[in-house]
Every structure is written in structure tokens, then in C-alpha cells.
Amino acid sequence: MNILAIETSCDETSAAVVKDGTEVLSSIISSQNDFHAKYGGIVPEIASRKHIESISPVIKEAMERAAIGFKDLDAIATTFGPGLPGSLIVGLSAAKAISFALKKPLIGVNHLEGHIYANFLLEPKLKFPFICLIVSGGHTQLVKVTGHMEFETLGRTRDDAAGEAYDKVARFLGLGYPGGPIIDKLAKTGNENAVNFTRPMLARQSPGGGGLEEEYKYDFSFSGIKTAVVYYVKKNPPRPLGEGLGVRVDIAASFQKAVVDTLVEKTIRAAEENSIKTVAIGGGVAANSKLRADMKAACKNKGIKCIVPPLELCTDNAAMIGCAGYFRYKKGMVADYSLAIESTARIG
């Protein structure tokens, strides 16, 4: 079964052809980073216009790389949410048009499901249940996956997503955009123990004392650590960029350690307390080198299997949408042309 998949939830225009759910015949990603970097973040209007310009060439290239014709497609899968409304509309409209023209089934895929199913592209025989940490610029949540399209959200961020915090801290420190890769690179040369930033919601006490409140124990909060960085810099101003990065490198490393410690500890906690022996990660921040290394080390220490997708499957891509779309199709979860975008869609 060949599925043409389309992903336009944010600022990457992507198309892929996936065979039988886990064999990627082609995967094309057109990034807009250069267009948004000058603004220090994603501008939704620019993103949607760039999607309009790129969607047809990207789909064409995906089909050519797959070396099949449109008549060989069995279904069209597309992201319907969550994401930027203008961006989502472009991909959904293209998918509907192709589905209608070819008279092939249309499959609507939740973007977050895609990040979970990126792990099946790495390990097609991945067994249930497992815990998946979805961590990106717009999302941070822990999901218990008990079967195909069977999700239970154990916890999510109460404010900023981890990737959002990275971007905001990088912007405040004058490091540029996107913040995640920049801080990750700088942190390798910094002292991650220079500043002991508080690990958010890692040890929140219940009103009566005695441990973390049940409703918060798997949740995240990253706005506080962002504020802590701001206050620290105001009290300990680093040298201007023209004079060298100075203490910025240590701040970046210490900030990253606090974020990664929180992500890893909460994920391991969820696995142990739910008696689950497999952990997977997905999303743009899953490309972070420290998160990847520390999660593997923590899982190994606890006897937990750890699955970490390759870098190209961590960022937004259509291959993961094609994989999720296949398993949706196998469960009869096919959409009709009334399918609409859901910019705040959730799973579980």
C-alpha cells in the first residue's frame, strides 16, 4: 500500500511516499528557517505564503523520488492539526484536491500522532505498551501508547513548551534563531553546572506535604526557568557579543541541563510507575544531543529500552504522517471532504 503524505503544520513543507506503513520511498522537506530567522521566530503569514509556493514542487519531487505514478497511490494522508491555521489549510487543501482527483481515500492525521509514529519508521516491530515523550517547539507531553491509535496523555506542559523556552532564552541572550540547535551547540563548550537553575515541577509538594501532587507529577512547566535565566542575566550581565560569548555559554549549558534533567526524570518516572519497559521520544527537541544521550543513559540504568529516531525523523516531516496514516487506515479511520483543520487538536 502506497500512501502520499503531506505535512504543513508549521514552517516546513514536506511530502513523502510511504509503502506499507514503514518503508519510506521518498521524503522531501522544504525548510523556511532562513525566512523567519531575521524576525527571531516564525511569522505565520510568511509561513502560509511559503507553503503555497512550495507545496506543488515538493509533492512533485516526492513522487519522482519514489519512482511511482499517481495511479500507484492507494491513499492520501495529511496533517489536520495541531499547528498554524494558515499553514494547515495549505496542506489539507492539497491533500483533498489530490484525493478527489484520484478518487483515493483521504486520511487525516494528528501531527502529534506523527511524532509518535516516527519511532515505527525506525523500529517497525515496536511493541506496546510504551511511553513516548513528545517534545518540540509547540508541544511537550508524555503519552502512554497501548495500541495503534490508542493513546493516554499522562502529562503536558502547563505553559511554555520546551522548544519554545529554548527559542525565548536564545533570543534573550542574543544568540539567534532557531534557539534549540544554537544552545545545543554552545552548551557543548560550556559549564553546565555554572548556574543551578530550578528544575520546574520536579519536586512540587502537595498542600499537606509528602510528595508531588498527583495531577502534576507528569506535567511540565518551562516559563519559570526562562524567567530565572532573565533574572540571572540582569544580575550577572554577560559581555556584549562583540567581545565574545563570555558567560553566555555557561548560561546556555546550565539552562539546557535543567530542561533535559526535567524531561528525562519525568519520562523515567512515568515508565516506572506505569510498569512500562520501553520509552520513545519524538519532536524537534528530540534532536537535542544532550536529551538523546541522557535519555539513553537513564533508560539503560533502569533496564528500560530506549528508542530515539534519527535526526531527520525528529523535525516535522511527512514520512511520519504517512506511517501514522497507514495505521489509521488499517483501523478504518478514513476521513471525508468535510475534514477541517484543528489548530489546537489534542490526542489522548
Domain-located, residue 307 = yes
Q: Write the CATH number for 158.
A: 3.30.420.40
Max avg pLDDT among 34-38, 206-210, 325-329: 325-329
Domain-located, residue 279 = yes
- Choice among 11-20, 206-215, 255-264 with the minimum mean pLDDT: 206-215
- The verdict on 97 and 219 lying in the same domain is no
CB atoms within 10 A of CB 36: 18
Please give the average per-residue pLDDT across 41-54, as a whole number.
Answer: 94
- The verdict on 71 and 213 lying in the same domain is no
Per-residue model confidence (pLDDT) at position 113: 97
Domain-located, residue 337 = no
Is it the case that residue 203 has pLDDT exceeding 70? no
Grid cell of 65 as nine digits: 523520488
Spatial contact of 24 and 121, defined as CB atoms under 8 Å apart:
yes
Residue 99 structural domain: 2-117+315-330
CA 14/CA 91 separation, integer angstroms: 9
Q: What is the mean pLDDT of the chain?
A: 92
pTM for the model stands at 0.93
Per-residue model confidence (pLDDT) at position 84: 97
- The verdict on 32 and 97 lying in the same domain is yes
Grid cell of 10 as nine digits: 508549521
- The verdict on 155 and 285 lying in the same domain is yes
CA 264/CA 272 separation, integer angstroms: 12
CA 16/CA 23 separation, integer angstroms: 11
Please give the average per-residue pLDDT across 221-241, as a whole number.
Answer: 83
Grid cell of 138 as nine digits: 509547540
- The verdict on 110 and 190 lying in the same domain is no
SS3 265: helix
- The verdict on 75 and 160 lying in the same domain is no
CA 52/CA 90 separation, integer angstroms: 6
Distance between the two ends of the chain, CA-based, in angstroms? 27
CA 18/CA 27 separation, integer angstroms: 9
- The verdict on 83 and 134 lying in the same domain is no
- The verdict on 212 and 241 lying in the same domain is yes
Beta bridge partner(s), residue 4: 17, 76
